Structure 1
Amino acid sequence: MNISRGEQRVLHVLAQGGYIRHQRADTGRILEVLCFTRDGHVLTDCTLEVFGKLRRKRLIESRESSPYRISEKGRRSVRGQLDNR
């Protein structure tokens, strides 16, 4: 599966215990997402575009209206983190 660098970053944060909080409009559409690390910091790489791609690929999931977390498929898809800064 083709996963971009930004998507990989978000998946790594989620695999280490992070989560994505979302805010919905009255129509039900997701307006805003915030990705939190397990330490409570916000990851700025998580945009609506990245969120949508991860959701369409079923790499993240939300159960019973809880924050989005990494799915089993996402755990299998995540690779070792590259240290190219």
Structure 2
Amino acid sequence: MPRKEERAVTAAEANRRFSHILRDVRQDGARFLVTAHGAPVARIVPTNGEDDGAAERAKAALLRRLEQQPVVVGDPWTRDELYD
């Protein structure tokens, strides 16, 4: 099934019509490109249960970064010190 064409909406319009936009996305598979000051800033698209792998790629990148970070051991602290 071919993708539906994106409709551009301003951020202000998307804010005012958010529930209507979500309904169109859910019911009709509509796709929206949200703009601010004429520049694209976000997309509202149906998920259809699809996973483009972005979450897995982000998780893998985070884990790679954490593996490269040195372990920092600080002085022990008490619960009371935590809340001071």
Give the TM-score normalised by structure 1. 0.23
Which structure shows the bigger proportion of residues in helix conformation?
2
Q: Report which of the two structures shows the higher radius of gyration computed on alpha carbons.
A: 2
